[in-house]
Structure 1
Amino acid sequence: MRFEQITSVKNNRVKDWAALKQKKYRSQTGLYIAEGTRLVEDAVASGAPIDAILLSGDLQSGRFDKIINGLASLGTQVYEVAEQVMEHISDTKTPQGVIAVIRQLEGDPNDFLDNKTNPLYLVLDGIQDPGNLGTMIRTADAVGATGVFLGKTCVDLYNPKVVRATMGSMYHLPVFEVDLELFLPAMKRQGITVVGTAIDADKTVFQHDFTQGTALVIGSEAHGLSAAMADAVDQNISLPMPGKAESLNAAIASSVMMYEALRQRTQ
């Protein structure tokens, strides 16, 4: 099957797609880009709302034939683009030859809270590093967390580096961007215990009961929980560190805590 070809970086659609590397244009259009074979395959398999598929090089045929033909039959626009066009749109130094332009998901996070039994939520406050955010979402996916909630001070979920770092996990579980100061009280009304982290906490992660509905709040890499979030949590827990390290990376710390939650829930 042949698709429309685009060979110039001056093409208006190419300009629009390249602009999606900037948060301003992602917010204005409600679109973002996901690139790479595995990531695009996960997006397609999960039923993500794909607006367009861009292909270049060898990926114009082969492993994507069935997927692309199926998308095209549903009305999704598929384009064959020149290598220089792919490089212009891509956020990576060595593009893999496939990009999906995807519509951002819309949904009411308050509705999502309803009727959940002993949920495990990961709540992130001020996470700035795209790699950390992507890793945290992957870990939440790995342990079977119920959902992830990002405060407004976190790096944008649809930042291309975050999207890549999730390695498809953002398509496997609900991820919402919310105002945490308004949203945490809604969690508490559902009977969920909001748990923060603090070095001087009375209880360690291994002493907390994760078998009950829990929202684990992780603060920024540099400053920990914001003052508002520190006031909002029901209790704090700590990670014991008998060695000489002063601290752990935020993504690693959240991973340890979430796997402790999984251990308790699967005993």
Structure 2
Amino acid sequence: MPPVSRRRITGFSNPTVKFLRSLRDKKHRRRAKRFLAEGLRLLTEARESGRLPDMLVMAEGREAHPLVDALERDVAAAGGEIVETSAEILAKITGKDNPQAIAGVFAEFDTTLAALDRDAAPIWLVAQALRDPGNLGTMLRTGDAVGAGGLILIDDCADPFGVEAVRASMGAVFTQAIAQARWEDFLPWLRGGPGQLVAASLRDAVPYRGAAYARPCFVLVGNESRGLPEAYEAECDLRVTMPMRGRADSLNAAVAGAVLAYEVLATLNG
């Protein structure tokens, strides 16, 4: 195979560097419909999930690695661009003092509800007004771990394509379907086909262990500080409660989603 062609960038003021830096801002990401992912693990997860970056950016002097070589070959074969630059410029692009040696620019995915196949998995995660990108990334990782179909973000959530959420997902942003919708659009979509909506709650709830979960099960968590609106909880098919043995009155939203998702998985597989 002929050598892969690389474009070298040496200046901080290069237009490509400015474009890449702009992807750290939600407004510019939405305008470009592109997002940045950093690190060989994330980019390898993307490649193995059938997603390749439009642009591959690599630091000079990085250690050779067969997975990097595979990425280069596949990106070049798909018509993508490969850029080589200094570690200092890459740090400026990613906003990290000690960046990974490789990053990629990806096209944003279709995040409409219409793009989802609810029958693709027995479990789906749903988050309402989840504002912390770390929690969002954790929920994506949880979804990947339990074999969920994906994560549906309701109302005003953190940006799933933001740098912090992508990092926190540890590659699950590429393995999980992602949808974004308002509650008033999500509910008719859900009721338009099979699907049980389940939330942790104190209102008319049953113990989460041994509850009557049914597939496809949509596990709903609320905002980190406010939880779910009462009207949203009222629409759930099943409300469950988790025991709190200590002084804390609730779990972190992403942790609660993970605990509940594993219980659903155990019940559906049992």
Q: Which TM-score bucket, shorter chain as reference?
A: over 0.9
Looking at structure 1, the residues matched to 42 and 215 of structure 2 have their Cα atoms a distance apart, in angstroms, of: 33
8 A contact 2:46–2:175 mirrored in 1: no
Give CA deviations for 1:182-233 in whole Å, capped at 9, x if unaligned.
1122112213121222134421211422233321110011000135523432
User: Displacement, 1:61?
Assistant: 4.0
Aligned match of 1:89 in 88, 93, 98? 93
8 A contact 2:52–2:75 mirrored in 1: no
Q: CA 1:7/1:108 → structure 2, altered by over 3 Å: closer, same or farther? A: same
Looking at structure 1, the residues matched to 158 and 116 of structure 2 have their Cα atoms a distance apart, in angstroms, of: 22
User: Displacement, 1:96?
Assistant: 1.1
User: Displacement, 1:118?
Assistant: 7.2
Alignment of 1:72 with 2:73, yes or no, is: no
Looking at structure 1, the residues matched to 40 and 184 of structure 2 have their Cα atoms a distance apart, in angstroms, of: 38
Aligned residue number for residue 98 of structure 1: 102
Q: CA 1:239/1:201 → structure 2, altered by over 3 Å: closer, same or farther? A: farther
Looking at structure 2, the residues matched to 100 and 266 of structure 1 have their Cα atoms a distance apart, in angstroms, of: 37
Looking at structure 2, the residues matched to 58 and 41 of structure 1 have their Cα atoms a distance apart, in angstroms, of: 20
Alignment of 1:38 with 2:41, yes or no, is: yes
Aligned residue number for residue 10 of structure 1: 13
Aligned residue number for residue 266 of structure 1: 269
SS at match of 2:129: coil
SS at match of 2:224: coil
Looking at structure 1, the residues matched to 120 and 171 of structure 2 have their Cα atoms a distance apart, in angstroms, of: 26
In the alignment, structure 1 segments of 5+ residues that lack a partner are: none
User: Displacement, 1:112?
Assistant: 2.2
Looking at structure 1, the residues matched to 252 and 22 of structure 2 have their Cα atoms a distance apart, in angstroms, of: 32
Looking at structure 2, the residues matched to 231 and 133 of structure 1 have their Cα atoms a distance apart, in angstroms, of: 24
Alignment of 1:249 with 2:246, yes or no, is: no
Give CA deviations for 1:147-174 in whole Å, capped at 9, x if unaligned.
2101231100001010011111121121
Paired residues, number? 266
TM-score (norm 2): 0.91
TM-score (norm 1): 0.92
Looking at structure 2, the residues matched to 107 and 162 of structure 1 have their Cα atoms a distance apart, in angstroms, of: 16
Give CA deviations for 1:119-156 in whole Å, capped at 9, x if unaligned.
32111001111111111111111011122101231100
Alignment of 1:229 with 2:232, yes or no, is: yes
Q: CA 1:73/1:61 → structure 2, altered by over 3 Å: closer, same or farther? A: farther
Looking at structure 1, the residues matched to 86 and 148 of structure 2 have their Cα atoms a distance apart, in angstroms, of: 41
User: Displacement, 1:14?
Assistant: 0.9
8 A contact 2:201–2:233 mirrored in 1: no
Aligned match of 2:158 in 155, 158, 163? 155
Q: CA 1:73/1:214 → structure 2, altered by over 3 Å: closer, same or farther? A: closer
Looking at structure 1, the residues matched to 182 and 124 of structure 2 have their Cα atoms a distance apart, in angstroms, of: 15
Looking at structure 1, the residues matched to 241 and 176 of structure 2 have their Cα atoms a distance apart, in angstroms, of: 26
User: Displacement, 1:259?
Assistant: 0.5
SS at match of 1:58: coil
Identity of paired residues, percent? 29
Q: CA 1:57/1:78 → structure 2, altered by over 3 Å: closer, same or farther? A: same
Q: CA 1:200/1:106 → structure 2, altered by over 3 Å: closer, same or farther? A: closer
Superposed counterparts of 1:85-164, under 5 Å: 85-106=89-110, 108-113=112-117, 116=119, 119-164=122-167
User: Displacement, 1:252?
Assistant: 1.1
8 A contact 1:193–1:215 mirrored in 2: yes
Give the superposed CA RMSD. Answer: 1.9
In the alignment, structure 2 segments of 5+ residues that lack a partner are: none
Q: CA 1:128/1:108 → structure 2, altered by over 3 Å: closer, same or farther? A: closer
